[in-house]
Amino acid sequence: MAQHIQGTEDLFGGYMRAWQHMQDVARDLFGAYGFDMIETPAIEQVSTFVHGIGESTDVVRKEMFRVFSGALMERLLQSGSESSLKAKQRLALRPEGTAGVVRAAVENNLVPQGGAPVKVWYAEAMFRGERPQKGRLRQFHQVGVEWLGASDPASDAECIIMLMEFYRRVGFDPSKLTLRINSMGDANCRPAYRQKVRQFILDHKDEMCEDCLERAEINPLRSFDCKNDHCRQVMAGAPLVTDNLCDDCREHYAKVKQYLDEAGISYIEDPTLVRGLDYYMRTVFEVEVEGSGVGAIGGGGRYDGLMELEGGKPTPGLGFAVGFERMYLALQELGVDLAGQEPPCVYVACTPEERDEVFSATLALRQAGVRAEADYQGRSLKSQFKQADKHHACLCVVLGPDEVAAGKATLRDMSTHEQVQVPLSELVNQVCERVSQKH
Ligand code: AMP
């Protein structure tokens, strides 16, 4: 039997309804903030992600799924090296949404000089070659937003406020959520700070793991996030970014906090919060669910240098992404049912002789917007009623020989079992009225 790949999931039934519900909440809420939907290709040139996410990140170095056509793969196996490939032949599945959106904005000139900012949101599958475990998949789904062209700290605060409102509308009790924020500085102050952290790691090199020693040279700030507990204990003594911000960054950060305070959003300032992707600067944030073992359910930040890295004009930008699967797990633990019920359905039951009448009645109901089911397996009336229950039908339409001869249909209320007869000419109206009364 064919099997799914470990770290991937099939989305159907209640799980699929939950994913769709999350997208509905996003569409309503993000729409009110002026965000339009975007979809970029699932495959991009490797360079798009390398520029955007950073050469030194785990995502780019270890977790990106590379894509080759069969013909290209053969050539590669023969030559034994990737160096013969042109840039446009070096492809990867997207591990996150921002780099592709920024590439699309540059290519389509979505943020013309002096033009209004562009605000987009997406709901897409992402792919990372991570070791599968609870809440960590190789194909997972994110809802995310990108806001390009805005530098005002009010936009940072609005993004965070919108994110927290998203969690509330999806079903989280805000008091169970922990929002951590930090400022990572900018091109002015971060290089000197990076240097200080590098020096700190080198001064403690006997106590740090191999990975951290490598990080000291390529991305020392990532050591704050080392999986090794001892490294993190040592890093607790490292210089903090918030003590090393330039005046502009300090002012920007103070304004963001002021707006969050005004909006009544509670947060924890965490000067060791460094997000996994290289492009972040100034504001960064992450959200966790208290007591749930699934890790962060979302995060984001500002990435003012990214448009330039992708070949565009200097343009500020910020955004966030939330992970569907982790949110679903966390909500389940909190006893929130996101799957909901199947939409209301009407079952049209018949005997074989009345097949033609049932065919046209079912069609007419569907055209009027009613979710209608019928039997296509020649079942007895009794088992059709059982099927109607399985479909959670609220109403059954019975078209038997007596009904058809009299030009009528029987409507059976599936919860009260009450039955009434209505003229066939009024069937659609009568069904619509009863369905809308039920919901
Ligand atoms: P990131 O792009 O790494 O900031 O991730 C944003 C959100 O996506 C995280 O907070 C998680 O909720 C989710 N996420 C990231 N990686 C995975 C993964 N491998 N499996 C499931 N969800 C993930």
Average pLDDT of span 135-139: 96
Secondary structure percentages of the chain, helix, strand, coil, to 5: 45, 20, 35
Residue with the smallest CA separation from ligand 1 atom 4 is 299
- Assess whether pLDDT exceeds 80 at residue 439: no
At 22-41, the pLDDT tens digits run 999 999 999 999 999 999 99
pLDDT value for 416: 92
The pair of three-digit structure tokens given for residue 22, joined into one six-digit string:
């999350």
- C-alpha distance from residue 274 to each of 63, 241, 418, 427, 432 (Å): 19, 10, 63, 62, 55
The pair of three-digit structure tokens given for residue 168, joined into one six-digit string:
């509330």
Average pLDDT of span 198-209: 93
Q: What is the distance between the terminal CA atoms of the chain, rounded to a whole angstrom?
A: 42
pLDDT value for 114: 76
- Determine the residue of 9, 53, 59, 126 to mutate for testing ligand 1's pocket, defined as the one with the most ligand atoms within 8 A of the Cβ atom: 126
Average pLDDT of span 335-360: 88
At 276-331, the pLDDT tens digits run 666 789 999 999 998 888 889 999 999 998 999 888 999 999 999 999 999 999 99
Cα of 322 vs centre of ligand 1, distance in Å, is 7
Cα of 60 vs centre of ligand 1, distance in Å, is 14
Taking the C-alpha atoms of residue 224 and residue 236, their distance in angstroms, rounded to an integer, is: 8
- Determine the residue of 65, 136, 306 to mutate for testing ligand 1's pocket, defined as the one with the most ligand atoms within 8 A of the Cβ atom: 136
DSSP collapsed to 3 states, 261-302: HHCCCCCEECCCCCCCCCCCEEEEEEEEECCCCCCEEEEEEE
What is the DSSP code string of 183-243?
E---TTTHHHHHHHHHHHHHHTGGGS-HHHHHHHHH-GGGGGG-S-HHHHHHHTTSPPGGG
The share of the chain scoring above pLDDT 90, in percent, equals 74
pLDDT value for 276: 66
Cα of 364 vs centre of ligand 1, distance in Å, is 45
Average pLDDT of span 202-210: 93
Nearest of 274, 293, 279, 330 to residue 95 by alpha carbon: 279
Residue with the smallest CA separation from ligand 1 atom 3 is 276
At 211-264, the pLDDT tens digits run 899 888 888 988 988 888 899 899 999 999 999 999 999 999 999 999 999 999
Cα of 324 vs centre of ligand 1, distance in Å, is 9
Nearest of 88, 94, 149 to residue 122 by alpha carbon: 94
Taking the C-alpha atoms of residue 395 and residue 393, their distance in angstroms, rounded to an integer, is: 5
Cα of 96 vs centre of ligand 1, distance in Å, is 8
Taking the C-alpha atoms of residue 363 and residue 272, their distance in angstroms, rounded to an integer, is: 61
pLDDT value for 9: 97
pLDDT value for 406: 94
Cα of 128 vs centre of ligand 1, distance in Å, is 9
Buried (b) or exposed (e) across 132-171, using 16+ Cβ within 10 A?
A: eeebbbbbbbbbbbbbbbbbebebbbbbbbbbbbbbeebb
The pair of three-digit structure tokens given for residue 307, joined into one six-digit string:
């448009």
Q: Is beta strand 91-93 parallel, antiparallel or unpaired with respect to 177-183?
A: unpaired
- In this prediction the pTM is 0.91
- Determine the residue of 59, 128, 140 to mutate for testing ligand 1's pocket, defined as the one with the most ligand atoms within 8 A of the Cβ atom: 140
Q: Which residues line ligand 1 (CB under 6 A)?
A: 96, 128, 130, 135-137, 140, 142, 276, 296-299, 321-323, 325-326
Residue with the smallest CA separation from ligand 1 atom 15 is 323
Residue with the smallest CA separation from ligand 1 atom 21 is 136
Task: Determine the number of helices (DSSP H) and then strands (DSSP E) in the chain.
Answer: 16, 16
Mean pLDDT is lowest, of 79-83, 129-133, 306-310, for 79-83
At 37-70, the pLDDT tens digits run 999 999 999 999 988 777 777 777 788 999 999 9
Assign 338 a pLDDT band (cuts: 50, 70, 90). Answer: confident
Q: Roughly what angle, to the nearest 10 degrees, separates helices 324-333 and 153-170?
A: 50
Average pLDDT of span 370-395: 92
Average pLDDT of span 353-369: 93
Residue with the smallest CA separation from ligand 1 atom 16 is 136
Mean pLDDT is lowest, of 14-18, 65-69, 219-223, 394-398, for 219-223
Which residue has better confidence, 275 or 130?
130
Cα of 321 vs centre of ligand 1, distance in Å, is 8
- Assess whether pLDDT exceeds 90 at residue 368: yes
Residue with the smallest CA separation from ligand 1 atom 9 is 298
